Structure 1
Amino acid sequence: MTIQIGDRIPEVVLKYIDDGVQAVDTPTLFEDRKVVLFAVPGAFTPTCSERHLPGFVEHFAQFRERGVDVFCMAVNDPFVMQAWGESQHVPAGLRMLSDGNADLTRALGLEMDASGYGMGVRCKRFALYAEDGIVKQLFVEAPGEFRVSSAENMLAHLPG
């Protein structure tokens, strides 16, 4: 079942690179903070690299001014996420998270079958806003679309 507004972020371990591969659980990422988590079907893919991630890079300071942390997630390994972040000039603080085995993706109910493209199980394109681990806003894109999960839309829907 797909996660809904009012649900708690499921407890899963994700990976990222910071002086080697690091593991972090979702309670550590989400509790006692305001977070926008956006997910893409794949690092280095066209829409993700040309529009989705660049929007969050461009508007990162606006999220931080509002006390919101920003995390990007994909079903890619942590080395790919690091390389993609470097190639996109991701600012320090915008964490590039690897959901390499699609554990969080499946727990959220947001997986999709991209095997027709040779990509296996991937995450649907989405963005959510959570406070203290509880989902307050959720925007899931229709297949092939990029509208509601943009940085601009997320900024427009943040409280206050």
Structure 2
Amino acid sequence: MMIAVGEKLPTEGLKTMGADGPEAVDMASKLAGKKVVIFSVPGAFTPTCSAKHLPGFVDKIDEIKAKGVDEVMCLAVNDAFVMGAWGKDQNVGDNVTMLADGSAAYTKALGLSLDLEAAGLGTRGQRFAIIADDGVVTHLAIEEPGAFEVSSAEAIIKAL
């Protein structure tokens, strides 16, 4: 079942790249009492994700934060090593938290996984963006297959 506006986000199963390697992410703390944006890409280092989606949020971070957002997070079904390397490649610095969902458990809990087995990519996440207040979804924008419109930084700024 897909997550919906008004529902609480899951808090388990994500990692990020720390100074000493992969670290579990305490999503409960990241979400508690905060307004966050989580956007999902089908894969790190892929064309649209690297040329438009992640760079858009990095470029527009000041506008997003000016709308009261405490943290912006990028989610992908990749491991923490890949997400860390992609974050460095894209110069995200502290602007965007790179969330690794290596086994797709978090994405599946959201009901937003994507079967790309036939393309040799296995299970991935759909391209989407969520705005959440205190862990509760207030806005959910899911892209149609192959599209990049409703989950862009510009679209999220309008939704905020």
Shared fold per TM-score greater than 0.5: yes
Structure 2 residue aligned with 1:3: 3
Q: Is the 8 A contact 1:13 1:23 kept in 2?
A: yes
Alignment: residue pair count? 158
**Code of the aligned partner of 1:128:** I
Could you list the per-position Cα deviations for residues 8-33 of structure 1 after superposition, in whole angstroms to 9, with x for gaps in the alignment? Answer: 00231210012122101321221110
**Code of the aligned partner of 2:25:** V
Structure 2 residue aligned with 1:103: 105
Q: Is the 8 A contact 2:58 2:95 kept in 1?
A: no
Query: 1:86 Cα shift?
Result: 0.8
Query: Displaced runs of 4+ in structure 1, greater than 6 A?
Result: none
The whole-number CA distance in structure 2 between the counterparts of 1:42 and 1:57 is 17
Structure 1 residue aligned with 2:121: 119
C-alpha RMSD of matched pairs (Å): 1.0
Query: 1:62 Cα shift?
Result: 1.5
**Code of the aligned partner of 1:134:** V
Secondary structure of 1:13's partner?
Answer: coil
Give TM-score, length-normalised by structure 2.
0.95
Structure 2's unaligned 5+ residue stretches are none
| 1:35 and 2:36 aligned | yes
Give TM-score, length-normalised by structure 1.
0.95
The whole-number CA distance in structure 2 between the counterparts of 1:79 and 1:106 is 21
Q: Is the 8 A contact 1:112 1:124 kept in 2?
A: yes
Structure 1's unaligned 5+ residue stretches are none
**Code of the aligned partner of 1:131:** D
Q: Is the 8 A contact 1:39 1:73 kept in 2?
A: yes
**Code of the aligned partner of 1:48:** C
